[in-house]
Copies of this chain bind each other. A is one copy, B any other.
Amino acid sequence: MSMDTENGTRWLSEEEQRAWRAHLDVSRLLMHQLERDLQPFGLTNNDYEILVNLSESEDHRMRMSDLATATLQSKSRLSHQITRMENAGLVRRENCESDRRGLYAVLTEHGWDTMRQVAPHHVASVREHFIDLLGEADLKSLYASLTPVAQHLRSLRGRA
């Protein structure tokens, strides 16, 4: 196809640049904005994501590892994160009978209440800053385009 310069590097075309930049900018600006919208509730984006995952799980609990995988965090980071949330009374740790190395992170009453209170605001925020700015066609094609990328990237993580 295109082989632009002396050293064989295929630089990005105008069009490619634009798409790339757009994705990059949205991705950062959006995270930033969502974080800001959660701030009044004393939660960070990370806190919220943990709460979502636990809320949607059987018995409001998840194994640390699974939670780490689901939220794309390292074990270490998750461990610290859960410690903070434990101190904030949002979750607690419980050990696992079937595997004595393992631990569950469990939503507390307060965690669940918090979730129920905050979720509507968060959804509103996601709508206002993202979803509602896109048409149905946009959403469909976004999903169709990005899914293979996500798959590719997931297949890569955890290599050397």
Contact = CB atoms under 8 A, between A and B. Distances in A.
Nearest to A25: B150
Nearest to A9: B120
A133 interface: yes
A128 to B, nearest CB: 9
A88 interface: no
A12 B120 contact: no
Give the copy number.
2
Contacts of A32: 72, 153, 157
Interface in A25-48: 25-33
Contacts of A136: 15
Interface on chain A toward B: helix, strand, loop, or mixed SS? helix
Contacts of A140: 15, 19
A97 interface: no
Q: Which 8 A-B pairs have the closest CB atoms?
A: A27-B27, A29-B153, A22-B146, A9-B120, A138-B145, A19-B139, A19-B143, A25-B150
A141 interface: yes
Contacts of A149: 26, 30, 129-130, 133-134
Contact of A120 (B7, B20, B33, B144): B7
Given A28-B72, A32-B72, 6 more contacts: A9-B123, A15-B139, A26-B153, A30-B153, A134-B149, A142-B142
